[in-house]
Structure formats: structure tokens, C-alpha cells
């Protein structure tokens, strides 16, 4: 597995020492808040409603057991005994004292973690498919390219003060689990007819106030040109992106205002200048980085496991196998999703005890590896099918054995007004109430694939624009209201959800979602037609009618 | 500052610099964690003075981001401020 190199090591240590000094100067009054704020943000420290919040980078969502144990320890000692996994594959601690931050960063550095580039107008933590390195359907491990991008973008002198933050995502399977089309740059790897690897390059996607699906500016970019091409895009953006209006500063606005053809031309022209020069990534370098991400030593097993098949006689395990286990590239192994969405719990939260138990499970059964998904779940990437029944039993013991991955209760929700200083309305309690309303697992199974995503304000950290059912919290004269969007999707068929009509009160929102679900169940052609397909077939009208024609 | 006729009583709130905790300025000038103990300014002039003192505490590195918030019956009026006062409404799940 990747371990950051000596350069990173020395650099992170220096940064911790520097920040320790800055915090001391702030606490002693030598530094004002105005001077200190940009410095703390550069180190992932925000001031939220109740306390400081520390956002820790988990590059491309990859974690070891040791790292998860350290996060559990930090949660216990410096927070209130838990942590919150975010939609950016990061982890946030919500109850941090400023005076403790340098020590926390020091303890993180010991396990090669940090909080750099989790804030500010720079290139943020690169995200990747959470099944990366294990998925049967991937053509390569996308983390290799995410890492090449990380090394290039980390503290890139030219791109430390971009017009706005900049997010990249990489996926390498036909089914896009990393939502690349709603990123500033989305890279979707594929193999051409000659067997060469390259990327479809998407630019200008994003959510927030002005949601947009990215435009495909290249159908096939050879992997060696990855950095030259991204540099070309960033240069155009750095030069032409708007700095006069924060709400118009993301690259999506530039792409939109310039037009797809013109922006593609400009990128290609810039790329022509850069191609074949210093930024070309040589094949041996790609191989070198790929070795960091090599598969662990897995056994040669038969594809079919009798233990696994026999365990499916238990309906609860059969459902877990169907929903939470995905095909692995190595026969006899599976990828296990640990749902951090037990009934009534805040999505993405894990207690320190749960993190420790999961770390133990990963160490014993998943070659010491874990992933964090942007859907706020954890993943055990390399579990022997033979071992999955035991893993399931252990997860049940810690209250995380829910077989609801991809079901209606596998909800994404941002921190919302319970924690976030920017929020207009609460998100988590809505997720909790929905999770309770749809608690019956048989009902969830009948409904099938359905993604609900909830944001507490237009910044859309809860990805509501790409929820099959999206919920946006708004403030209407001091009251929380919730707007429903339908038909969004973050996968390879990416679409932005459409607002269905006037919002619902906090009391009404759960019933409204249930009405949408019941309407779907009535109109679907068969149980094989998922919500999104049905919505795309019939459009908004029947849902609108069910919701408003009373 | 609001005109006299549409003025509502206010308190000064901020976050403690060191811990980040939500704090309210009390009549004796200390910052405490309970809104119900906060000093209430009943007039625009008092409110201005309260804010000035809160800002001075900001400048003295005791608190950060002080603001005035509307109060009624010893509680903040706005939901956001009530959540700041009493804590998140979303507890950790019952299975945890
Ligand atoms: S969407 Fe808004 S409320 Fe939710 S975390 Fe982001 S900024 Fe905060």
C-alpha cells in the first residue's frame, strides 16, 4: 500500500512545527484572528458552531488499520469519542480545542496523515473510486493516478491561489462510483482498442449554487499526458477564471460562459505547448507508483466458497451478501461495504470503539486495508469469501451489520445546522427520521436502489443535486424548509436533479419523501425497474401530482 | 444598529478562542456557556456598548467572532443560536 515518501514526511513535520508556533502566537495574542484564520484553514481547522472542527485528509479514501486506530484514539482523547466521515472521503472531528490541534497533527504525522489541502483555494484532496485496487470491473487502480496528481498538485507554486477551490476525481471502472462528472476535473480511465490506457477527461462539473454536469473535453487522453493536460486546464482556469465574484469563480462557470468548443480549443492549444515536455509521466514512473498500490498477497482460491454460499441460508446474511459485498478482481475474495447508516444514526459517524473494532477486522480479514467512500461508508477491500460470514457477525456486534448499502436508508447527509456555521437547515435529523421511517429492511429491499442525499445549504456538501431524491434545506423566515429534487445521479449517466415544486416543512419532509417512494412503487414497470430508471421514463408529472394535488 | 421601535433585546455571543466553545457574555464581563446567564441589552444604546465590550474581548484574544443575537425569555430566538446554546439536536444513533 502507498506510504508517503520522505519528502512528504519531512514536509509534514515542518508544517506541524510551524503550526504549533502559530497557534502559540495566536493564543498569546501575538497574532490576530484575521492573521491567523488563513493559517488555520491551511491546516484544516475551521471554526464551526460549537467548536473548532479539524478536517483530516484521507487521500483517495485509503486507510490502514493503524491509521484508523489513531483516528479512534484522537476521537476519544480530543473529541467526544467519535468521528465523522465526509462526502470528500475525509474525516472530521467536530469538537476540537484549538490548543490541542498541534498535538493532534503531531499524532497524525506519526501515522503519515495530515490535514493539508483540505481547505482554501487550492487543489484539494483527490478522490477516487472507493473500490479502487479491488474492483473486478476496474481497468487499473485509479489511486495510482490520483497519487500522481497529488504529488503534482501538492503545494504547486502556480496553483496555491486559484480563483476558487479545485476538486479532482478519478475512476477506472465503466461504472463510475466516484461521481467524476460533478468535479472540476473528472478522469474516467479506459483502455482503447490497442490496449493502451487513457482517460476520458471531464471539465467543469460541480454542485453548489450552480450545479453543472462536466463537459467531456477529451475522449481519450493517453496516461502519459495526464499531468500536461491537467496543467493546461489549470493554467487556463488560473488565468481566465473569475476572481471578482466568489459565486462565479469555479471552473464550471468559466466553461459555461466560454462554451464547450472554445474551452476545449483553449485547453488543447495550451496542452500542445506542454505535451512531450517535463510533465510527461514516463511509463516506469507509473509502474513505480503502481507498486506502492500493489495488491496485498492474496491466496489462490476457488471462485466459489462453500462457506459463503452455505451462510446465505440465513436470510439476513443473504441480504448482506447481495447488498454489501461486491465482486473482487481476485477469485474467492469480495469487497465488503460497512454501512455507517444504522437505523437512526447520523450518516457517516463512527465511535472510537467502532473504529477500533473495524481496524481489528481489517487487520485480520482485509490485509490491513480500508477505504472511505464518498457515500460516507467504510469498505474492507480484500476479504476472503470464506471469512465474510465471520466479518458480518463481528460487524453486527458493533451495530454496523446493516445490509442496506445502496438502499433508501444509505443516506448521505452533510453536517447541516447541527454543526456547520454556513447551514440554513438541519440535515442529520432529517436523515435520522427517514432512516427510522424506512427501517423495515424488507420494505427497503422492495424499494431497491435509491439514493437520498441531503444538504443543509446551497453549498451542496450533501450532494443533493445528484441524489435520486435530493433534499436541500433552506431558511424561510427563520423556519427550516426542505426542497425536493428528483432524478439526480452522480454515476456515468450523470444528471442534476430537478426541483419538483415548493418546499416542505420540517414536519412534512419525511411524509413527502414517502409519497415520492409510494408513487414510484405504483408506477414502476416491475421490481427490476429502479427508481432512477422509472423517473427518467415518466418524468416529474406523477410525482408532482402526488405531492401537491391534494 | 436597529431603530428603537423594532429593537429586540440582544445578548453577545462568541466562541472561546482556546476551546472554540460557544460562550455568552455575562453581566460581570465573564464569558459563560449558558445563554440564560447572558447579559441582555434592552436598548440599542446598551446593545452598542455590549458589542463594543465583546469586540474588546475579541481584541484581547479571549473570544472569536463576537456577535449580538436576539433573545427572548432567556433563550436565543433563532434556531441556529438555540442549537449553538443547547448543542446539536442530532445525537449519536441509538445503535452506537
Ligand atoms: S452543504 Fe452547507 S450546511 Fe451542509 S456542510 Fe456544506 S456548507 Fe455546511
B70-80 pLDDT tens trace: 999 999 999 99
**Three-state SS letters, A207-233:** CCCCCECCEEEEEEEEHHHHHHHHHHH
Ordered by start, the domain boundaries in chain B are 10-70+81-86
Using CA atoms, how far apart are residues A384 and A382, in angstroms rounded to an integer? 7
Residues in chain A with pLDDT values less than 50: 1-3
Q: Is A24 an 8 Å CB contact of chain B?
A: no
For residue B14, pLDDT beyond 80: yes
Average pLDDT over residues B13-26: 97
Residue to mutate, A456, A470, A474, A482, ligand 1, most ligand atoms under 8 Å from C-beta: A456
C-alpha–C-alpha distance, residues B40 and A110, integer Å: 48
Question: How large is the angle between the packed helices A251-258 and A226-240, nearest 10 degrees?
Answer: 80
Q: What is the pLDDT of residue A2?
A: 44
Q: What's the rounded Cα separation, in Å, for the pair A86 and A414?
A: 8
pLDDT for position A121? 77
Q: In whole angstroms, what is the distance from residue A302 CA to residue A384 CA?
A: 10
Q: Which residue has the higher pLDDT, B91 or A27?
A: A27
Residues 6+ apart with CB under 8 A from A463: A87, A179, A182, A207, A374, A412, A453, A455, A470, A490
Rounded CA separation A371/A138 (Å): 16
Task: Name the minimum distance, in Å, from the CA of A319 to any CA of chain B.
Answer: 20
Q: d(Cα A329, Cα A230) in Å, to the nearest integer?
A: 29
Tens digit of each residue's pLDDT (9 = 90 or more) over B41-51: 999 999 999 99
C-alpha to C-alpha distance for A117 and A107, rounded to whole angstroms = 18
A478 CB burial (10 A radius; 0-12, 13-18, 19+): exposed
Q: Which residues pair with B68 in a beta bridge?
A: B12
Rg (CA), chain B: 14
Tell me the three cell numbers of residue A70: 489513531
Strands A185-191 and A168-171: parallel
Give the whole-angstrom CA distance, residue A168 versus residue A150. Answer: 10
CB contact under 8 A, A49 and B90: no
Task: Note which residues in 51-90 of chain B have CB less than 8 A from chain A.
Answer: 58-61, 64-65, 77-80, 83-84, 87-90
Are residues A374 and A287 in contact, defined by beta-carbon separation less than 8 angstroms? Answer: no
Q: Give the tens place of pLDDT for each residue, A48-98.
A: 999 999 999 888 899 999 999 999 999 999 999 999 999 888 999 999 999
- Domains belonging to chain A, first-starting first, are 6-109 (3.90.480.20), 135-291 (3.30.413.10), 306-397 (3.90.480.20), 413-548 (3.30.413.10)
A460 lines ligand 1 (CB under 6 A): yes
Amino acid at each position: 500500500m502507498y506510504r508517503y515518501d520522505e519528502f512528504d514526511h519531512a514536509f509534514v513535520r515542518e508544517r506541524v512545527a510551524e503550526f504549533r508556533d502559530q497557534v502559540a502566537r495566536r493564543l498569546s495574542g501575538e497574532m490576530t484572528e484575521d492573521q491567523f484564520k488563513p493559517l488555520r484553514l491551511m491546516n484544516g481547522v475551521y471554526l464551526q458552531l460549537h467548536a473548532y472542527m479539524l478536517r483530516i485528509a484521507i487521500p483517495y479514501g485509503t486507510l490502514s488499520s493503524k491509521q484508523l486506530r489513531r483516528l479512534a484514539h484522537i476521537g476519544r482523547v480530543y473529541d467526544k469519542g467519535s468521528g465523522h466521515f465526509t462526502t470528500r472521503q475525509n474525516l472530521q472531528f467536530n469538537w476540537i480545542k484549538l490548543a490541542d490541534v498541534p498535538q493532534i497533527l503531531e499524532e497524525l504525522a506519526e501515522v503519515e496523515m495530515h490535514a493539508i489541502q483540505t481547505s482554501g483555494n487550492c487543489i484539494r484532496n483527490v478522490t477516487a473510486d472507493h473500490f479502487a485496487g479491488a474492483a473486478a470491473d476496474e481497468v487499473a487502480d485509479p489511486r495510482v493516478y490520483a497519487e500522481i496528481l497529488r504529488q503534482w498538485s501538492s503545494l504547486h507554486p502556480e496553483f496555491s491561489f486559484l480563483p476558487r477551490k479545485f476538486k479532482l476525481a478519478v475512476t477506472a471502472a465503466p461504472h463510475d462510483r466516484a461521481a467524476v462528472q460533478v468535479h472540476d476535473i473528472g478522469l474516467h480511465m479506459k483502455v482503447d482498442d490497442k490496449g493502451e490506457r487513457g482517460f476520458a477527461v471531464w471539465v467543469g462539473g460541480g454542485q453548489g449554487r450552480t450545479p453543472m454536469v462536466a463537459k467531456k473535453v477529451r475522449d481519450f487522453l493517453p496516461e502519459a499526458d495526464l499531468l500536461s493536460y491537467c496543467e493546461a486546464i489549470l493554467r487556463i482556469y488560473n488565468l481566465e477564471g473569475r476572481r471578482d465574484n466568489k459565486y462565479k469563480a469555479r471552473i464550471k462557470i468559466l466553461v459555461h460562459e466560454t462554451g464547450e468548443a472554445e474551452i476545449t480549443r483553449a485547453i488543447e492549444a495550451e496542452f500542445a505547448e506542454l505535451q512531450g515536455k517535463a510533465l510527461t509521466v514516463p511509463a516506469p514512473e507509473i509502474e513505480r507508483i503502481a507498486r506502492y498500490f500493489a495488491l496485498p498477497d492474496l491466496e489462490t482460491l476457488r471462485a466459489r466458497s462453500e462457506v459463503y454460499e452455505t451462510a446465505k441460508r440465513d436470510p439476513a446474511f443473504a441480504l448482506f451478501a447481495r447488498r454489501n459485498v461486491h465482486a473482487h478482481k481476485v477469485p474467492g475474495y469480495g469487497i465488503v461495504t460497512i454501512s455507517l447508516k444504522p437505523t437512526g444514526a447520523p450518516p457517516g459517524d463512527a465511535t472510537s470503539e467502532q473504529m477500533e473494532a473495524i481496524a481489528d477486522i481489517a487487520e485480520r480479514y482485509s490485509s490491513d486495508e480500508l477505504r472511505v467512500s464518498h457515500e460516507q461508508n467504510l469498505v474492507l477491500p480484500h476479504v476472503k469469501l470464506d471469512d465474510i460470514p465471520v466479518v458480518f457477525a463481528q460487524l453486527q456486534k458493533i451495530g454496523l451489520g446493516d445490509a442496506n448499502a445502496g438502499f433508501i436508508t444509505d443516506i448521505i447527509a452533510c453536517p447541516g445546522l447541527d454543526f456547520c456555521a454556513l447551514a440554513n437547515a438541519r440535515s442529520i435529523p432529517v436523515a435520522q427520521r427517514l432512516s427510522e421511517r424506512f427501517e423495515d429492511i424488507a420494505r427497503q429491499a422492495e424499494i431497491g436502489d435509491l439514493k437520498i442525499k441531503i444538504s443543509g445549504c446551497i453549498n451542496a456538501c450533501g450532494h443533493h443535486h445528484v441524489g435520486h431524491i435530493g433534499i436541500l434545506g433552506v431558511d424561510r423566515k427563520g423556519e427550516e424548509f426542505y426542497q425536493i429534487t428528483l432524478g439526480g445521479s452522480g454515476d456515468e449517466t450523470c444528471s442534476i436533479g430537478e426541483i419538483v415544486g415548493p418546499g416542505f416543512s420540517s414536519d412534512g419532509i419525511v411524509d413527502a419523501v414517502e409519497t415520492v417512494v409510494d408513487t414510484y412503487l405504483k408506477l414502476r414497470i416491475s421490481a427490476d425497474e429502479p427508481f432512477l430508471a422509472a423517473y427518467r421514463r415518466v418524468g416529474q408529472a406523477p410525482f408532482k401530482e402526488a405531492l401537491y394535488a391534494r | 444598529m436597529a431603530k428603537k421601535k423594532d429593537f429586540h433585546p440582544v445578548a453577545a455571543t462568541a466562541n472561546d478562542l482556546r476551546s472554540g466553545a460557544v460562550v455568552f457574555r455575562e453581566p460581570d464581563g465573564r464569558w459563560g456557556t449558558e445563554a440564560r446567564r447572558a447579559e441582555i441589552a434592552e436598548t440599542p444604546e446598551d446593545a452598542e456598548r455590549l458589542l463594543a465590550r465583546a469586540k474588546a474581548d475579541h481584541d484581547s484574544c479571549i473570544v472569536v467572532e463576537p456577535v449580538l443575537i436576539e433573545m427572548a425569555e432567556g433563550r436565543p430566538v433563532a434556531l441556529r443560536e438555540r442549537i449553538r446554546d443547547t448543542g446539536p439536536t442530532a445525537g449519536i444513533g441509538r445503535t452506537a
